[in-house]
A and B are shown apart, each in its own frame.
Chain A
Amino acid sequence: MYETINISIPKKAERIFGLFLSFYPKVYRQKFGNEMRLVFYEMYQEEILTNGKIRFGFWIWQFSDLSNNALKEHVDLIEKKGIKKYMQQTFNINKYNIFGVILLLPAFIVFCIDLGSRIIQGDLVHYNRPVYKLLSHTPLYWTPVLFVWVIIFPLLAVGINLIPIITKAVKDRDHLKSKTFIKQNFTTLLILTFGLFFVLLVKYHDFAPCMVHGILKVGFGQLDHIVEVCRKA
């Protein structure tokens, strides 16, 4: 029988394995995580005894094996629980997050088109006139409707996604200060961040690319001058 012995491995190796293990669903980690960790320690020790060091191939193998099987476990979980429960339990996604994503989608599309067309023309400071002229005939860029996509909808997304946070905070005041706050509300915080980002971008949509362009051209050395120029952009 192959007996186990007391094994200690470098903290860095433990952290890397911990990261790979985090690919698995929580339910699976709770059941098999400890055992998998112990097996990994023994594999690590064996690699050192056999090859004198940890080869890069060892880590490639671990990543490939764990990520491949983690994906299978997620698929298995979706088949067993259905997509709704899976999203709730794995990513802490709630109905407010889904509404938030739908509300942010038009602003995200406008942002990507604007940024992409500025990059293609090689000038971040000014919007791409031909692209703008073409899209101005579409509902996405009609002036009153554009106001809805890039300001109203993101504000609504922010407002809706504050509901679960405020609700939890009212029930448990310590929730906001808890160590797991960010982890438990990661998707919600992400939507809040993007919502506020798009609203701010409306105000600074010429200032921001002008700053980026200026910094890329002359560096951070003349930041004051760049800010002064871009304020008038």
Chain B
Amino acid sequence: MSKRKQFSNSNLLTLPVFYILLSLTTQERHGYDIMKQVEHDSNGKIKLGAGTLYGAIKRMLEDKLIVEGSSEHARRRYYKLTEKGRSIFNNQLERYNQAVEIARQKNLFAKLALAYV
């Protein structure tokens, strides 16, 4: 049987995972907090359900991109980035940054704006 691809610097992160990691870059958060932050950061384009959210959290925990943080509430689990998670996120961010830079050099943003006029 095929094994699930682990998160690594060479694999592209899915958008939900990227945004979850983004939400954890500044502070540790619990599930609902992550959900709302992702919705905010994506301007409402990504709305995670509980199933998608915790499916992603489970895989990130298994691959040690995140760990459980300190918890003030007994019922709540908080999550935070590990060094590996931060490294993979930064790597992904760098890729996006390079793509944006190339697009800027080719003046694609202006062309894109014209296309919508």
Are A65 and B32 interface neighbours, CB within 8 A? no
When distances are taken between beta carbons in the complex, the residues of chain B under 8 Å from A40 are: 50
B76 at the interface (CB under 8 A from A): yes
Taken residue by residue from 25 to 68, chain A's Cβ proximity to chain B (1 for < 8 Å, 0 otherwise) reads as: 00010011011101110110000000000000000011011111
The docked-state distance in angstroms from the alpha carbon of A36 to that of B36 is 14
Most chain A CB atoms below 10 A, which of B30, B51, B75, B76: B51
Q: How many residues of A contact B (CB 8 A)?
A: 28
Are B31 and A35 interface neighbours, CB within 8 A? yes
When distances are taken between beta carbons in the complex, the residues of chain A under 8 Å from B2 are: 79
Are B1 and A78 interface neighbours, CB within 8 A? yes
Secondary structure of the A contact surface, majority rule: helix
When distances are taken between beta carbons in the complex, the residues of chain B under 8 Å from A62 are: 49-50
Are A66 and B49 interface neighbours, CB within 8 A? yes
Contact of A70 among B27, B51, B53 (CB under 8 A): B51
B55 at the interface (CB under 8 A from A): yes
| CB closest chain-A residue, reference B54 | A32
Taken residue by residue from 83 to 107, chain B's Cβ proximity to chain A (1 for < 8 Å, 0 otherwise) reads as: 0000000000000000000000000
Taken residue by residue from 67 to 107, chain A's Cβ proximity to chain B (1 for < 8 Å, 0 otherwise) reads as: 11110110010110000000000000000000000000000
The docked-state distance in angstroms from the alpha carbon of A38 to that of B34 is 13
The 24 sampled A-B contact pairs (Cβ below 8 Å) are A2-B32, A2-B33, A4-B32, A32-B54, A32-B58, A34-B75, A36-B31, A36-B54, A38-B31, A38-B32, A39-B31, A39-B32, A42-B32, A43-B35, A61-B49, A62-B49, A66-B49, A69-B52, A69-B54, A72-B55, A73-B58, A78-B1, A79-B2, A79-B4
Binding site for A on B (CB under 8 A): 1-4, 27, 29-33, 35-37, 49-55, 57-58, 75-77
Having A4-B32, A70-B51, one finds 13 other A-B pairs with CB under 8 Å, namely A1-B33, A4-B30, A35-B76, A36-B31, A39-B31, A40-B50, A42-B32, A65-B49, A66-B50, A69-B49, A76-B4, A78-B1, A79-B3
